[in-house]
Chain A
Amino acid sequence: METKKIIEVKDLVFTYPDGTTALENITIDFYDGEFIAFIGTNGCGKTTFSKCLNGILKASQGSIVVNGIDVVHTKDCMELVKNIGYVFQNPDHQLFNNNIYSEIAYAPRNLGIPENEVRERVIEAAKIAGVSESIFEEHPFFEVKGIRQRIAIASILSLKPAIIIVDEPTTGQDYKQSIEVMEFLKMLNEKLGHTVIIITHEMDIVAEYAKRVIVMTDGKIISEGSVKEVFARAELLEQANIKPPQLTRLAQELKDEGFSPDIITVEEIYSEWKQIKGKNEIAEKA
């Protein structure tokens, strides 16, 4: 099945007002239904790149086309936000309404959607994000961080964008909350068909949830591909100061024993260990 190209980036350059060139000649395509992870050290350009995709930052050079919309030159921000939603790293920066209902309804109202449809969207987005209707009247700012993060995601889901970018979805969350957020994003991707882009430093999360990984360093993409392909490129990852998940590193250390260097899950390493053990037993018997 041929997958539709949903974002096309060509020769993208972005320079901040202080003269720092944050992105240099980035050319890449994204496809409908992908679950992508941007990885790289702090300051490598991940957030800048994702803000350029969303039109929050205007590219200095090059082109970005999202679902047929020229992001660099469009003046119609409404059309753009219908297609691509951005969840900020710190939920506190995107909660500014005085109750949770208005917070989730904010974006659809900006689009001029009739109030009855806004209500439907709010209830639907809140349900998907796990925000209870019983707290709709509360001030979003004074909820616990996990709930604030969910409200922030719900406030973007109410736009029903085809693409959702989430900047560091698990930062500051405990293990249980991190898994909940990631399972939720997985559900958006697999069941509801959203293209999900996450920015993260957690390689275990990448290994478990992402389908494609983009490695950035110094404003450039130095590697991209499936999770297995990227984590197997140890030298490139080292160049970007990234260490693959512990399990992958263990498999790479045990390469001479017959383990594949692209193992990313416990199940894979266990299965290979059983195979190798079996082979060794046969060899010993022989």
Chain B
Amino acid sequence: MDQTVKRKMHRTIIGFVPGESIMYKLHPVVRLSLYIATGILPLFIETPEISMLFIAIILILFVVANVNLNRLKIFTPMLITVGIIINLTYIFFPIRKEEGLVMFSLLGLDVNFYSTMWAFAIYLRIITLVLSSVFYFSTNRERDILVAMRTIGTPFVVSYFIGLALRSAGIFLEDYSIIREAEQARGLDVRNLSFLGKVKHFSMYLVPLFTLSIRKSDDISTGLFAKGTELTGKIDGVKRADYLRSKLRITNIDKAWLIAIILFTVTVMVVSITTGLLTIEGSWIFQSIEKYFFG
């Protein structure tokens, strides 16, 4: 009996990837390049409004790629915590303190203008990086990541271990979710626990989770050994055939995308290094706030 089911979503490391997405028309290498580009570019952009534009572009990519934006909700607490930590760090350890542009005082602490702007710029960069990572892992399965790595010539042993690590992460998360269900079935309501209680409670999982991971990793390694897998990726000195790589060929469209991504990344990097266009001082937001507070 054919049990093939066309699903709206496919399960993967970070949760689910859409069953159908325009991103799948691109070769995994192009997707990886896009991820690297969206991961590197924020580091060259200080201007908050351009960072915000970048965030908007990534969010549009989420929609275009058919990724459910509701998935981002789970990252909200993390982003809020990061925002608080960055702001507090820049308040307690201000930059350009000698220039003395104090916006206001908070509980006896001077809130420095440059520090606040930098905290904001850095925070936007982090949001961009988080969103870019979520986007990549929401549109790529483990096999795509491995195909991309093997296509760009990553040594077999590296991609082999990354593959096992990704699989272990998936197994770990699945076991964790079943253990949580088992707790729920025995009347545990974590909402009633204090923060410390939650941390203490989580530590309880460590023995079963790690023992299960070790048992399963042992099974996987035994299985691979039984099938004669070599870490060199070769059989009798000849490179192993790779089914997925043979199925997923780089097309001319992929090449065009690769060139466009590389050119765009290099252009932004050059502009950032050689001109002041992407600096925080060149920001319209920076100038407006400075004018408002200090005239």
Contacts and interface: CB of A to CB of B under 8 A. Distances in A.
Contacts of B15: 17
Interface stretch (A94-102, A204-212, A274-282): A94-102
A20 B7 contact: yes
Report, as a range, how many residues of chain B touch the other chain: 20 to 34
B57 interface: no
A184 B20 CA distance: 48
B211 A97 contact: no
Contacts of A19: 7-9, 19
Given A98-B207, A139-B207, A86 B175 contact: no
B107 interface: no
Contacts of B88: none
Contacts of B182: 86, 88, 93-94, 96
Q: Which of B3, B11, B181, B186 has the most CB of A within 10 A?
A: B186
A241 B185 contact: no
B181 A51 contact: yes
A156 interface: yes
Interface string A78-100: 10011001101010111111100
B186 A159 contact: yes
Nearest to A81: B187
A43 interface: yes
Interface string A93-116: 111111000000011001100000
Nearest to A107: B186
Interface in A11-64: 17-20, 43, 51, 54-56
Contacts of B7: 18-20
Given A93-B175, A97-B204, A18 B187 contact: no
B186 A155 contact: yes
Q: Which of B15, B19, B187, B204 has the most CB of A within 10 A?
A: B187
Q: Which of A94, A96, A156 has the most CB of B within 10 A?
A: A96
B212 A92 contact: yes
Contacts of A96: 179, 182-183, 204-205, 207-208
Nearest to A110: B187
B238 interface: no
A91 B211 CA distance: 13
Contacts of B288: none
A86 B212 CA distance: 21
A215 to B, nearest CB: 16
B185 A54 contact: yes
A93 B211 CA distance: 11
A86 B185 contact: yes
30 contacts: A17-B16, A18-B7, A18-B8, A18-B11, A19-B9, A19-B19, A43-B3, A54-B185, A77-B184, A77-B189, A78-B187, A81-B185, A81-B187, A86-B182, A86-B185, A88-B178, A88-B181, A92-B208, A93-B175, A94-B179, A94-B186, A95-B208, A96-B204, A96-B207, A98-B207, A106-B186, A107-B186, A111-B187, A139-B207, A159-B186
